[in-house]
Amino acid sequence: MGVNGSTPSSRPGSARSASAAARSAIAAATSIAVLVLALALLVAAPAGAESPSAVAEELFDDGVFVGVGRDEIDELSLIAAVEDARFDGLRLVVVAPDDPQPTAAAYARRIQEQTEADAAIVFPPEGEPQTYVIEDLSTTRIRATEAAREFSEPARAVEAFATELGTTSEAGTPPIVNQLMRALVLMALVIGVVVAIEQGVTRLRKSDTASATG
């Protein structure tokens, strides 16, 4: 018997039990922390994937972004509508995100600012489409947005929106002006070449005349 009637092995056994319990508690806490971190990453992933800066990169080619969960959206029809608007001179981008944050209206503004497009239209999962345009188109934005909201089909809404904004971007140069400018530049180049050739021929003739006289 030990002191006070306890056995010599009772305290080491209690210490081992306490140590094992501590290790179990640490392991459990670690597992919970890992699980919480994994859940946080899963929750944050969609928001990061749909951040305006990330979406702006996706808009570079065809001007359309559709969230992975928006199966009801006909992306090809949207692309065709955007191409028509761009052909008419309107730099338009269209986004149908899974979760526009903080609001669809604010999201539309950030998309327009990130892409520097003439206009941006956002189709949230719920609610009406929201738009944002450059300052020079602001006087027609309300009317164009109301026109878009008359259609439940996004592609039709985009067509109506672009039509109301105008076939050309008021902030940019109309396509006909660009074509005229290119034609004038080409004409100036042709005239320059012709003048250079004539000057060369004139010098050659003078040189031949001088040689013959000498």
pLDDT digits (tens, 9 = 90+) for 126-175: 999 999 999 989 999 999 999 999 999 999 999 999 999 984 444 445 55
DSSP labels, 45-110:
HHHHHTSHHHHHHHTTTTSEEE-TT-TTS-HHHHHHHHHHHHHTT--EEEEE-SS-SS-HHHHHHH
Residue 61 has pLDDT above 80, yes or no: yes
Condensed to tens digits (0 to 9), the pLDDT of residues 179-207 reads: 666 678 778 888 888 888 888 778 777 77
Beta-carbon contacts of residue 31 (< 8 Å; ≥ 6 apart): none
Read off the pLDDT band of 4 (50, 70, 90). Answer: low
Read off the pLDDT band of 24 (50, 70, 90). Answer: low
The whole-number average pLDDT for the span 37-64 is 72
pLDDT at residue number 182: 67
pLDDT at residue number 109: 96
pLDDT at residue number 28: 59
Q: Which of 54, 70, 147 is nearest to 131 (CA)?
A: 147
pLDDT at residue number 141: 93
Q: How far apart are CA 214 and CA 210, in angstroms?
A: 6
Condensed to tens digits (0 to 9), the pLDDT of residues 86-108 reads: 998 999 999 999 999 999 999 99
The whole-number average pLDDT for the span 94-123 is 95
Residue 212 has pLDDT above 60, yes or no: yes
More confident residue, 197 or 209: 197
Q: How far apart are CA 104 and CA 106, in angstroms?
A: 6
Q: How much is the mean pLDDT over the chain?
A: 79
The predicted model scores a pTM of 0.58
The vertex-124 CA angle with 168 and 67, nearest 5°, equals 90
Q: Which CATH code fits 52-165?
A: 3.10.310.50
Long-range contact pairs involving 43-51 (C-beta distance under 8 Å, separation at least 24): 46/98, 46/99, 47/99, 47/101, 50/97, 50/98, 50/99, 50/100, 50/101
The vertex-195 CA angle with 190 and 201, nearest 5°, equals 130
The whole-number average pLDDT for the span 55-82 is 94
SS3 119: strand
